[in-house]
């Protein structure tokens, strides 16, 4: 028996049309460094999106399934590209501007991008790459910047505003197959070449609905979200699409990502929500501690990308800002979990739940797999690698135009689950607690030591700004932890005191013997601790290590 329901494709163009009509008065505000941000209503964004689609088709000849790249900050023009490109049937390809040049070249060539959008301030990054990008024919420049380096290159250069001027304000959005590609992001390539994850219209639509649910971010038209997480990082965690569904105002920081400007944005524009990785909030905390600002409007922060130190949560609690853990990855669109405690608990009872990565929403199934391949119980104690599947979870990687998708055995199980590479436990009521990355867990004398647990404990010390712990070879135990710490200004190091501080909460056998102070923890292109750099520095003898008895 078949249903009697209509079968309307779930398309990005429908999210756009809903936002520009039903929520037309909502705004995208882009920080410019001037007294007033640039403000555009959703209705204006929609009209410009229609014009942009006409320009791409009529002037540049962009066809369905063609990849169109963006090398841009978070701003209104980037939002317009977010909607115009997939709505016309092409594929939005966001480029991570923090990747090394050789990885950017690989990504653009692998995707065969023919058109690249770029903010003028990022031309110094793009121009040296263009001689190595044979598929790129058109460069669309938004905003001021030195364009002189483009003159000698075999590309056509277009000014964004000139390109969309005088174009029709209504584009005939095609009725696409909802499983057609809409956008793609590449992983950061921490091991091997970056891998392309291709999102469908259907997966974006369903993911956007989940972002808006109360068990996720739960934002409404009364909210303004400060979108610090880059638009090149897993579609800004789905916020540009989700906000057009519900009319949430967006505050976009553009290139002003330093703690000072962010503090000023929050005080002046009064967002109620924000999203970014922990390193952003650590920097902002140091800023407002030194130069107090009013953060009282910001009731909720979605924090992901890496584990949030409990001390950071406590510090923001004292400021009246609630940090909410989320977990996800490029392959999961990225929403995988969010750490909302069960109802009816006191603040003290909520705390253990807030320290988890959170609970899985409808649409994401999870299991833990042990070293021998056995599926482990959800008992809060059995640790294994997290595997997931669902409506917005990748089933393969992009393998180039016309090629079969890649399904490497170390990333996808034989029965179709994504192997996340994260190790953790799941409680009986579905709360995930990650103890480490599989590649970062310290295997000492046949037992596992969580580097994340050691880091969080270290960062609770009043003299420690940041800490990263890695496994290093040990003749007796196989591996032992090396603690690298970044001290707060004016602090001095006492390794014995730090080790004693750890011993208050960490088992004695897990305490590091090897210690070093570093200027800053190396970061990946998306702000995570880059532990492979520290491991290499140790192997090369580049760190001044003290070994305690």
**Which domains are present in the chain?**
440-547 (3.30.300.30)
* Cβ neighbours of residue 38 closer than 8 Å, sequence gap 6 or more: 29, 30, 32, 75, 76
Average pLDDT over residues 376-395: 96
Which SS3 state, helix, strand or coil, does residue 516 take?
strand
Alpha carbon distance 486, 211 (integer Å): 35
Which residue is catalytic, options 30, 47, 70, 187? 187
Which residue is catalytic, options 448, 479, 516, 532? 448
Known active-site residue 289? no
End-to-end CA distance of the chain: 74
CA 156 to each of CA 138, 140, 151, 206, 260: distance values in angstroms, whole numbers, following the listed order: 5, 8, 9, 37, 38
pLDDT at residue number 203: 98
* Cβ neighbours of residue 506 closer than 8 Å, sequence gap 6 or more: 453, 454, 457
Q: Tokens 């420049």 correspond to what residue?
A: 141
Known active-site residue 443? yes
Which residue is catalytic, options 287, 331, 455, 466? 331
Alpha carbon distance 136, 71 (integer Å): 13
pLDDT at 189 over 70: no
Predicted TM-score (pTM) of this structure: 0.87
Query: Which strand (E) or helix (H) includes residue 386?
Result: strand 384-390
Average confidence score pLDDT of the chain: 95
pLDDT at residue number 191: 57
CA 78 to each of CA 52, 94, 202, 530, 543: distance values in angstroms, whole numbers, following the listed order: 11, 10, 21, 28, 41
> Which token pair is 211?
């972002």
pLDDT digits (tens, 9 = 90+) for 264-319: 999 999 999 999 999 899 999 999 999 999 999 999 999 998 888 899 999 999 99
Known active-site residue 439? no
Which residue is catalytic, options 439, 443, 488, 536? 443
Alpha carbon distance 78, 76 (integer Å): 5
Q: In this structure, are residues 353 and 431 in contact, taking their beta carbons and an 8 Å threshold?
A: yes
pLDDT at residue number 81: 98
Average pLDDT over residues 158-167: 98
């Amino acid at each position: 028996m078949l249903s009697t329901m209509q079968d309307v494709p779930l398309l990005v163009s429908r999210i756009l049309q809903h936002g520009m009509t039903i929520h037309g008065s909502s705004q995208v505000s882009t920080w410019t460094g001037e007294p007033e941000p640039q403000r555009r209503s959703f209705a204006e964004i929609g009209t410009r999106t229609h014009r942009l689609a006409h320009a791409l088709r009529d002037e540049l000849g962009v066809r369905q399934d063609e990849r169109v790249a963006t090398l841009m900050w978070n701003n209104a023009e980037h939002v317009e590209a977010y909607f115009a490109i997939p709505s016309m049937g092409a594929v939005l390809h966001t480029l991570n501007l923090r990747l090394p040049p050789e990885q950017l070249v690989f990504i653009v060539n692998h995707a065969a991008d023919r058109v690249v959008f770029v903010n003028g301030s990022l031309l110094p990054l793009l121009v040296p790459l263009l001689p190595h990008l044979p598929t790129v024919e058109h460069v669309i420049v938004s905003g001021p910047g030195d364009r002189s380096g483009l003159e000698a290159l075999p590309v056509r250069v277009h000014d964004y505003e000139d390109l969309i001027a005088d174009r029709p304000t209504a584009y005939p959005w095609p009725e696409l197959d909802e499983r057609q590609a809409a956008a793609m992001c590449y992983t950061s390539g921490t091991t091997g070449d970056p891998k392309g994850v291709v999102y469908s219209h259907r997966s974006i639509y369903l993911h956007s609905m989940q972002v808006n649910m109360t068990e996720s971010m739960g934002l409404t038209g009364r909210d303004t979200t400060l979108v610090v997480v880059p638009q090149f990082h897993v579609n800004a965690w789905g916020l540009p699409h989700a906000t057009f569904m519900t009319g949430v105002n967006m505050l976009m920081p553009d290139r002003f990502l330093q703690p000072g400007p962010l503090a000023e944005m929050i005080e002046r524009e009064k967002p109620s929500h924000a999203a970014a990785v922990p390193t952003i909030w650590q920097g902002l905390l140091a800023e407002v501690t030194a130069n107090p600002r009013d953060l009282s409007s910001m009731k909720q922060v979605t924090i992901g990308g890496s584990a949030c130190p409990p001390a950071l949560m406590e510090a923001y609690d004292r400021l009246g800002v609630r940090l909410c853990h989320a977990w996800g990855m490029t392959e999961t669109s990225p929403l995988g979990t969010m750490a909302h405690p069960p109802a009816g608990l006191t603040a003290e009872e909520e705390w253990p739940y807030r320290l988890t990565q959170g609970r899985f929403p409808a649409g994401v199934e999870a299991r833990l797999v042990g070293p021998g391949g056995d599926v482990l119980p959800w008992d809060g104690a059995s640790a294994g690698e997290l595997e997931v599947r669902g409506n917005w979870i990748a089933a393969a990687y992009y393998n180039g135009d016309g090629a079969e998708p890649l399904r490497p055995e170390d990333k996808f199980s034989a029965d179709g689950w994504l192997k996340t590479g994260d190790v953790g436990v799941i409680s009986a009521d579905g709360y995930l607690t990650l103890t480490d990355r599989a590649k970062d867990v310290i295997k000492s004398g046949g037992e596992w030591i969580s580097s994340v647990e050691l880091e969080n404990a270290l960062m609770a010390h009043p003299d420690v700004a940041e800490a990263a712990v890695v496994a290093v070879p040990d003749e007796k135990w196989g591996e032992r932890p090396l603690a690298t710490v970044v001290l707060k200004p004016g602090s001095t190091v006492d390794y014995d005191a730090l080790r004693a501080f750890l011993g208050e909460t960490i088992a004695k056998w897990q305490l590091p013997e090897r210690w070093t102070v570093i200027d800053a923890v190396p970061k990946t292109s998306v702000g995570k601790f880059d532990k492979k750099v520290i491991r290499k520095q140790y192997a090369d003898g580049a760190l001044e290590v003290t070994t305690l008895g």
